[in-house]
Chains A and B, each alone.
Chain A
Amino acid sequence: MRCLALLLVLLCSCVSRGQETLKIGSKSFTESVLLGELLAEKARREGLTVEHKDSLRGTRLVFEAVKSGAIDVYPEYTGTLIGELFADRDVATDAELRQALADVGLAMSDPIGFNNTYAIGVLPETAERFGLAAIADLRKAPNLRMGFTNEFIERDDGWRPLKEAYDLPQTDIRGIDHDLGYQALGSGAIDAKELYTTDAKIQSMGLTVLRDTIDHFPRYDAVWIYRADLPERSPAAMRAIEALTNVLDEAAMSALNARVDIDGRTEAEVARAYFDNAKTPDGALTTGDRLRRAAADIPRTTAEHAVLVGASMMLAITIAVPLGVLAAHSRRFEQVVLNVSGILQTIPSLALLALLVSLLAITGQIPTIIALFVYSLLPIVRTTHAGLTQIPQSVRDSARSLGLPRGSMLLFVELPLALPSIFAGIKTAVVINVGTATLGGFIAAGGYGDPILAGIRRVDTVLILAGLIPAALMAIVLTLLLDGVERMLSPAGVRGGIR
């Protein structure tokens, strides 16, 4: 809390409290930023100077910002206000909510017009075939295959209570990621999925939204939260806010989200176009534009990916080769080393990333590098061990019987003979590594995971390819590079084949 206060002081001190400036806030997701931009655009048209602090991290921070006056107004959802911000005040009705806000010097506008809550979505063909218009209609189609996020399956207001509330018959329930679920729905792998009612995909895929007619789901009506003194301080600002109430229904908001998430426009562009109507082209970016945008990002993602792969491989080689040597030379460590590295390999990569993030309490490159390091251990340890133990007994005896110093024997006889095997392990690890590093996108490590994950979220093949193709090329280039290093390191006798 003290940190928060400090942050707010900083926020406040950055901005002089000029009467003419309207300070708008928004949270760090498309819809919130877009609403902030819409209000900013409208207020500018009302002649105000506007400052938009967009993408603030977390509901609490934005709410504290408006309470303290660091911002004047921001878009919020009634469900969040009731269920999260005033969870301790037992707020139920609209009047109670307004009172609770007034107590902290805030006010709430009329609804913006849409309720961003859960619904069930189906393809229009499915809706037509079974005559589906609302969730209750699902009773008519008991054999539909449902694809839900694990969160929706588990939530207190999720699938199970929904099934009870509506007495639904479906039993074929599959767990699937929210964004991937749209692809599954589109390809016919599932027949229905949960939606957030303003998801961009609803528009772009032309989905039929089955409504929650008995209000099973809590309402998440979008509203403006503003400082109670704003109406008297700036009537023009209030005019702008009021102009943006009762104007956007779910379909309209979903369409605007789609401009950003699917067409690749910026929030500001979309906001301008909204008020200009036809003046700005509002179609999707052309494939050429998208290719150019994706390509422009490749140098950055390549550099980030190379750091992930490079650092983890260095670490892995430095540790795994000595471990392999230890395993080959010591019967006591052999099973321990091989088994431990084998067990580490079986940990699912996402689970390992999640574990590392919670253990280290940081996200980004370091946990990703550690995870990649862990996965690189086994191939290198195993091939080092195999390379060393497969040296023929006669060769090993000859080396020992020469009376070579222990280090020389390893350095000048054993490791050179095991080199092809060790390099095979390193090359395997590098290829696995380049692929696995894309999962770093889940924990803000950057690299090719960024475009791939964004591409999956937006069902944008160009973006996915902008990650996949360079990743494949990187794997090939690194393998060739390692081939070169191996050739440089290994003398002709080994290249010619060990006899």
Chain B
Amino acid sequence: MFELRGIHKAFGESVVLDGIDLTIEPRTTVALIGPSGCGKSTLLRLMNGLLEPDAGVVRFDGHEMTGNALTPARRRIGYVVQEGGLFAHLTARQNVTLLGRRLGWDRERARDRAAELASLVQLDSALLDRYPHELSGGQRQRVALMRALANDPEALLLDEPLGALDPMVRADLQDELKELFDRLNKTVVLVTHDLAEAQHLAGRVVLLNDGHIAQDGPHGALLREPASDFVRRFVSAQRRLHGLEGAAS
């Protein structure tokens, strides 16, 4: 579904991605993980063309992500950021159906789709007519997810989707997301700094360090067969922080 070849990306002097090759198969869930500044968010933003690589190629479903191909591709890729990125001047419903309405949905179709999505992400549909500032953090993330799913995309890109939430809400939403991913059966790429979350949600974990892929493997591989000293140190640091044992097994 996503194919990245020889990706280089620098912001001014600082090189963020230095020769990344990555292929993501359809209908898999992949977590990009790594210490902050490792380039994981940049990599995600390259996948839907929010950024362009300095060198290398990004393809989505065989199409190179440049120029005129961007807009149609983006409509097939849902994207959710940490803060939700909701449009403050629109109600939850309007946020969710903005693109649809612009693409010609009538009022009825928009209403039906919003209700459908609300039940999918378990949002009380009474909240749909509230503005973002009238919603809690967890509710806002659900609305952001609804917006990303509104056009029934084939892929979902999630940049720290739970990063801004408090631990209780976060744990609940992790479970819900897991269930949702299983049910939707879409290609999902999510960025997180939390190894437990990555292990919990994704079947494949890609650990980035300093612009390179440090290890790329199936669920649990980082714990069982660390590919380098860095991976070992990263895992043990995460373990100390979160008591990872349970999640890893």
Interface residues of A (CB under 8 A from B): 392, 394-405, 408, 412-413, 416-417, 419, 490-494, 496-499
Contact = CB atoms under 8 A, between A and B. Distances in A.
Nearest to B74: A403
A397 B81 contact: yes
A404 B102 contact: yes
A401 B157 CA distance: 10
A402 B80 CA distance: 10
Contacts of A416: 87, 89
Contact of A404 (B79, B99, B133): B99
A398 B145 CA distance: 11
A402 B98 contact: yes
A396 B79 CA distance: 12
Interface string B130-165: 011110000000001001000100000100000000
A498 B88 contact: yes
A55 B83 CA distance: 73
A236 B245 CA distance: 125
Contact of A499 (B71, B90, B133): B133
Interface in B74-99: 74-75, 77, 79, 81-91, 98-99
A496 B131 contact: yes
B45 interface: yes
Contacts of A493: 87-91, 131-133
B16 to A, nearest CB: 16
B156 to A, nearest CB: 11
With most chain A CB atoms within 10 A of its CB, the pick from B45, B84, B89, B147 is B89
Interface in B47-97: 48, 50, 70-75, 77, 79, 81-91
A400 B75 CA distance: 10
Contacts of A392: 83, 85
Describe A's contact surface by its main secondary structure.
helix
A88 to B, nearest CB: 73
Describe B's contact surface by its main secondary structure.
mixed
Interface of B: 45, 48, 50, 70-75, 77, 79, 81-91, 98-99, 102, 131-134, 144, 147, 151, 157
A401 B151 CA distance: 12
Contact of B48 (A401, A405, A498, A499): A401
Nearest to A497: B133
A493 B129 CA distance: 11
Given A397-B50, A402-B98, A403-B71, A499 B87 contact: no
B88 A400 contact: no
Contacts of B99: 402-404
B86 A395 contact: yes
A496 B88 CA distance: 9
24 contacts: A394-B81, A394-B85, A395-B85, A397-B45, A398-B85, A399-B87, A400-B50, A401-B50, A402-B74, A402-B75, A403-B71, A403-B73, A404-B99, A405-B71, A405-B102, A408-B102, A412-B102, A416-B87, A416-B89, A493-B87, A493-B91, A497-B133, A498-B88, A499-B88
Given A394-B82, A397-B81, A397-B85, 7 more contacts: A392-B85, A394-B84, A398-B144, A405-B71, A413-B98, A416-B89, A493-B88
A392 B132 CA distance: 14
Contacts of A496: 88, 131, 133-134
A403 B72 contact: yes
A226 to B, nearest CB: 77
Contacts of A401: 48, 50, 74, 77, 79, 157
Nearest to B157: A401
Contacts of B131: 491-493, 496
B161 to A, nearest CB: 12
Contacts of B102: 404-405, 408, 412
With most chain A CB atoms within 10 A of its CB, the pick from B50, B75, B82, B88 is B88
A95 B194 CA distance: 109
Contacts of B77: 401
A395 B85 CA distance: 4
A490 B89 contact: yes
With most chain B CB atoms within 10 A of its CB, the pick from A398, A404, A497 is A398
Question: What 8 pairs between A and B have smallest CB-CB spacing?
Answer: A398-B85, A403-B74, A401-B79, A394-B85, A493-B131, A403-B75, A494-B89, A416-B89
With most chain B CB atoms within 10 A of its CB, the pick from A394, A401, A408, A492 is A401
B83 A394 contact: yes
A491 B82 CA distance: 25
A405 B81 CA distance: 20
B179 to A, nearest CB: 24
A116 to B, nearest CB: 67
Nearest to A417: B89
Contacts of A498: 88-89, 133
B132 A398 contact: no
Contacts of A412: 98, 102
B119 to A, nearest CB: 22
A283 to B, nearest CB: 64
Nearest to B70: A403
B29 to A, nearest CB: 19
A402 B147 contact: yes
A403 to B, nearest CB: 3
B42 to A, nearest CB: 12
With most chain B CB atoms within 10 A of its CB, the pick from A395, A400, A403 is A403
Contacts of A419: 89
Contacts of B88: 395, 417, 493-494, 496-499
A8 B157 CA distance: 84
Nearest to A397: B50
Nearest to A498: B88
Nearest to A405: B102
A162 B79 CA distance: 82
A403 B45 CA distance: 14
Nearest to B87: A413
A400 B131 CA distance: 20
